[in-house]
């Protein structure tokens, strides 16, 4: 069963870092599934924006299955995005999954530290936040030989 993590416990866990028994591998990944505008307005320190629609694509590329993954949505309600993604990640062999109880609203209500700005969407999940222009390549010219190919005399045609 995927367990909730209350805001105070998550704050303590993020402060402890590598010393936490919750994450024996030493890594804690916080993925924010909210809209890009909401993430830019405020999010947990160190959280990475991952749109709900792309979470199953990007989270397995950013976290190992033995590392602790914490999912954050708006309200942490039953059947919400964080719980939905957590249940789907179980099928990708993730075993250390938690969701923020009460979502980002509970984090704010507890008065815990927040960050603003940061890369969102594709830029947040690409290599080190690279821009879309960096990810796309330019036109590649096709090179063709000036001489037509010569037939292979050992090849027998079927006619």
Q: Is the pLDDT reported for residue 8 higher than 70?
A: yes
pLDDT of residue 133: 45
Q: Is the pLDDT reported for residue 148 higher than 60?
A: yes
Q: Is the pLDDT reported for residue 130 higher than 50?
A: no
The answer to whether residue 133 is domain-embedded is no
Q: Which domain holds residue 12?
A: 3-128
* Mean pLDDT across the chain: 81
pLDDT of residue 54: 92
HEC sequence for the chain: CCEEECHHHHHHHHHHHHHCCCCCCCCEEEEECCCHHHHHHCECCCCEECCHHHHHHHHHHHCCCCCEEEEECCCCCCCCHHHHHHHHHHCCCCCCEEEECCHHHHHHHCCCCCECCCCCCHHHHCHHHCCHHHHCCCCCCCCCCCCCCCCCCCCCCCC
The answer to whether residue 141 is domain-embedded is no
pLDDT of residue 127: 46
CATH classification at residue 67: 3.40.250.10
Q: Is the pLDDT reported for residue 147 higher than 90?
A: no
The answer to whether residue 152 is domain-embedded is no
**Distance in angstroms (rounded) separating the CA atoms of residues 13 and 19:** 9
Q: What is the pLDDT of residues 40-85, one digit of tens each?
A: 999 999 999 999 999 999 999 999 888 999 999 999 988 899 999 9
The answer to whether residue 136 is domain-embedded is no
User: What is the tally of structural domains in the chain?
Assistant: 1
The answer to whether residue 51 is domain-embedded is yes
The answer to whether residue 119 is domain-embedded is yes
What confidence tier does 121 reach under pLDDT thresholds 50, 70, 90?
Answer: confident
What confidence tier does 152 reach under pLDDT thresholds 50, 70, 90?
Answer: low
Among 4-8, 9-13, 126-130, whose mean pLDDT is lowest? Answer: 126-130
Full-model pTM = 0.74
The answer to whether residue 68 is domain-embedded is yes
What confidence tier does 132 reach under pLDDT thresholds 50, 70, 90?
Answer: very low
Averaged pLDDT, 18-36: 77
């Amino acid at each position: 069963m995927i367990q909730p993590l209350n805001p105070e416990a998550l704050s303590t866990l993020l402060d402890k870092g590598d010393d936490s028994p919750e994450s024996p591998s030493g890594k804690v990944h916080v993925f924010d599934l909210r809209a890009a505008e909401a993430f830019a307005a405020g999010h947990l320190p160190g959280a990475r924006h991952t749109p709900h629609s792309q979470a199953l694509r990007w989270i397995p590329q950013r976290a190992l299955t033995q590392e602790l993954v914490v999912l954050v949505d708006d309200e942490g309600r039953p059947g919400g995005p964080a719980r939905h993604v957590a249940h789907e990640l179980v099928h990708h062999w993730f075993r250390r999954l938690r969701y923020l109880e009460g979502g980002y609203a509970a984090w704010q209500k507890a008065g815990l530290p927040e960050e603003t700005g940061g890369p969102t969407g594709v830029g947040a999940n690409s290599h080190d936040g690279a821009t879309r222009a960096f990810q796309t390549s330019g036109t590649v010219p096709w090179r063709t030989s000036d001489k037509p190919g010569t037939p292979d005399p050992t090849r027998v045609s079927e006619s």
